[in-house]
Amino acid sequence: MSDGAVLHVKGRVLAGPEDVRDELWVVGGRVSYDRPAGARDITTVAGWALPGLVDAHCHVGLGAHGPVDADTAEKQALTDRGTGTLLLRDAGSPSDTRWIDDRADLPKIIRAGRHIARTRRYIRNYAWEIEPEDLVGYVAQEARRGDGWVKLVGDWIDRDLGDLSPCWPREPVEAAIAEAHRLGARVTAHCFAENSLRDLVEAGIDCVEHATGLTEDLIPLFAERGVAIVPTLVNIATFPRLADGGDSKYPRWSAHMRRLHERRYDTVRAARDAGIPVYVGTDAGGSLAHGLVADEVAELVTAGIPPVEALSATTWGARAWLGRPGLDEGAPADLVVYEADPRADVRVLAAPRRVVLNGAVVE
């Protein structure tokens, strides 16, 4: 599209779960619901339009063995863009990806700084590995470096125990979360197991990643405190393979991982039914490929979340939770157009007809 050109999207514009319009216009890179007067260079796209999708748990600049170079990080971001995923919450990366903010052709990123883990209790080369007495200082550091989020590793395998166990005592966690909140940042934590969750929630955490350890006694606590979860079911699908690899050395851990995997759909459905906010995240980066948001939405539906709610978890609802606009009047035009109604079949998300980022149609 040339300078001064106008994009006209017609058909059905799903600006919200109850906000369905017949058309929108993209003028100067922004959304308008009024036809621009005197517009001549108009390109029309027909279909079903959604706000740009959200991956609320991914890792740009991270590979299986730690940080990656800028070319690889760019390919990760472009892969997400190609699937219509235009807003990313980077839930921990050792790479400096601030250069992406200067690229209007790449998805927008909300960073949580670098993971903060207990010494030798996480994947090598991923996190700051520290002891509890240093937790508050590192949380303050990452709160200042991030975009309003900090990421803790809440539990991991304890090799002496041979199973998952909490990484942090209650007192330093409470102090660290309070410090993050004082600095205007929210806190989230990687948690697979059950026994790390109560302390984190009662300490004031804002979100839990994976949350496979949610149990009947913990679900009401999450709901009461308004703690969100990002289940990353496409990542949880790898648990059986991980468990197979640990059978000989850590049989307790392997059996635990299999149990968490077996009840994953029941866990997510029970959380949703209790009113816990659920958002879409893939855990892309590290060992998983980028571009898996459509698969994750389909997994949420398989777990029993109604399709419109699963769509909200990657569009309207997710954007509101992260403080970013959707298809609001005057907002940056980040949207995806599909051939069919994604509310009828969320698998439509895997095949966008057009992707529009900052008002520009991208290939």
> Looking at the domain assignment, is residue 178 inside a domain?
yes
Distances in whole angstroms, Cα of residue 111 to Cα of each of 93, 114, 145, 198 = 8, 9, 8, 25
- Which pLDDT score is estimated for 40? 81
Distances in whole angstroms, Cα of residue 89 to Cα of each of 9, 253, 345, 362 = 27, 29, 25, 21
Q: What is the CATH number of the domain that holds 104?
A: 3.20.20.140
Region 305-330 average pLDDT: 98
Q: What are phi and psi of 284, to 5 degrees?
A: -60, 150
User: Predicted confidence band at 137 (pLDDT cuts at 50, 70, 90)?
Assistant: very high
- Which pLDDT score is estimated for 183? 98
Using the predicted structure, report yes or no on whether residue 296 has a pLDDT greater than 60: yes
181: buried, middle or exposed (CB in 10 Å: 19+, 13-18, 0-12)?
Answer: middle
Region 182-188 average pLDDT: 98
The answer to whether residues 149 and 18 belong to one domain is: no
Give 95's contacts (C-beta < 8 A, 6+ positions apart).
60, 61, 62, 67, 68, 73
Region 322-329 average pLDDT: 98
The answer to whether residues 281 and 190 belong to one domain is: yes
The answer to whether residues 117 and 16 belong to one domain is: no
The predicted-structure confidence for 32-75, as pLDDT tens digits, reads as follows 999 998 888 889 999 999 999 999 999 999 999 999 999 999 99
36-40, 103-107, 320-324, 350-354, range with the lowest pLDDT: 36-40
Amino acid identity for residue 181 in this structure: H
Region 165-175 average pLDDT: 98
Structure tokens belonging to residue 270: 């029970």
**CA 176 – CA 138 distance, rounded (Å):** 9
| Residues of the domain holding 215 | 53-322
User: Predicted confidence band at 363 (pLDDT cuts at 50, 70, 90)?
Assistant: confident
- Which pLDDT score is estimated for 3? 55
The answer to whether residues 136 and 270 belong to one domain is: yes
> Looking at the domain assignment, is residue 1 inside a domain?
no
**CA 3 – CA 120 distance, rounded (Å):** 53
Q: What is the CATH number of the domain that holds 330?
A: 2.30.40.10
- The pTM for the full model equals 0.97
Q: Taking the CA atoms of the chain, what radius of gyration do you get in angstroms?
A: 21
The answer to whether residues 30 and 128 belong to one domain is: no
Contact present, 188 and 205 (Cβ < 8 Å): yes
Higher local confidence (pLDDT), 333 or 40: 333
> Looking at the domain assignment, is residue 18 inside a domain?
yes
**CA 291 – CA 79 distance, rounded (Å):** 6
The answer to whether residues 95 and 242 belong to one domain is: yes
The answer to whether residues 317 and 333 belong to one domain is: no
**CA 148 – CA 320 distance, rounded (Å):** 14
The predicted-structure confidence for 241-283, as pLDDT tens digits, reads as follows 999 999 999 999 999 999 999 999 999 999 999 999 999 999 9
The answer to whether residues 281 and 158 belong to one domain is: yes
The answer to whether residues 43 and 119 belong to one domain is: no
> Looking at the domain assignment, is residue 156 inside a domain?
yes
The predicted-structure confidence for 66-117, as pLDDT tens digits, reads as follows 999 999 999 999 999 999 999 999 999 999 999 999 999 999 999 999 999 9
**123 phi-psi bin (left φ>0, alpha ψ -120 to 50, beta other):** beta
Using the predicted structure, report yes or no on whether residue 355 has a pLDDT greater than 60: yes
**CA 158 – CA 318 distance, rounded (Å):** 33
> Looking at the domain assignment, is residue 63 inside a domain?
yes
- Which pLDDT score is estimated for 75? 98
The answer to whether residues 248 and 336 belong to one domain is: no
The answer to whether residues 257 and 354 belong to one domain is: no
The answer to whether residues 40 and 182 belong to one domain is: no
286: nearest Cα among 65, 78, 90, 127:
65
- Which pLDDT score is estimated for 47? 97
Contact present, 347 and 301 (Cβ < 8 Å): no
Percentage of the chain with pLDDT > 90? Answer: 96
Distances in whole angstroms, Cα of residue 109 to Cα of each of 81, 91, 148, 276 = 12, 10, 11, 24
**CA 3 – CA 45 distance, rounded (Å):** 18
Question: Which secondary structure element, helix H or strand E, spans residue 210, and what is its range?
Answer: strand 207-210
Q: How many CA atoms lie within 13 A of 46 on its CB side?
A: 1
Region 230-241 average pLDDT: 98
**CA 357 – CA 53 distance, rounded (Å):** 11
